[in-house]
Amino acid sequence: MLKIIFLIIVLFIFITVYSFKKKIDGILDTLFPKQNSQNSKNGELEELVRCENCGTYIPKSSAVKKIRIRGDVLYFCSQKCKKEYKG
Ligand SMILES: [Zn+2]
């Protein structure tokens, strides 16, 4: 008889700990969503520039740059647009 009571108590503790862990995991997921926060950060940091030749907007990091003698910087979406642009 004592064995059965002992087993029930162990089972009860196991279920309590398991449900508690699940609650903690749920709270952590809502507080720190892993993938979503990274994506929004990248979107905020990415600055868009306008291609001087065709007018397309491209991320500054992937734009082709051309520095004029006067010192101002022109941005192009591709090497093709950079060659085509006159001015
Ligand atoms: Zn272009």
| 33-50 per-position pLDDT tens digit | 776 544 545 556 679 999
Distance from the CA of 11 to the center of ligand 1, in angstroms? 68
Span 59-71, pLDDT tens digits: 999 999 999 889 9
**pLDDT at site 33:** 77
Distance from the CA of 60 to the center of ligand 1, in angstroms? 13
Q: Label residues 6-22 b or e (16+ Cβ within 10 Å = b).
A: eeeeeeeeeeeeeeeee
Distance from the CA of 57 to the center of ligand 1, in angstroms? 8
CB within 5 A of ion ligand 1: which residues?
A: 51, 53-54, 77, 81
CATH code assigned to 46-87: 2.30.170.20
Listed in sequence order, the DSSP H helices in the chain are 2-31, 34-45, 79-84
Q: Is the dihedral of CA 11, 13, 17, 20 positive or negative?
A: positive
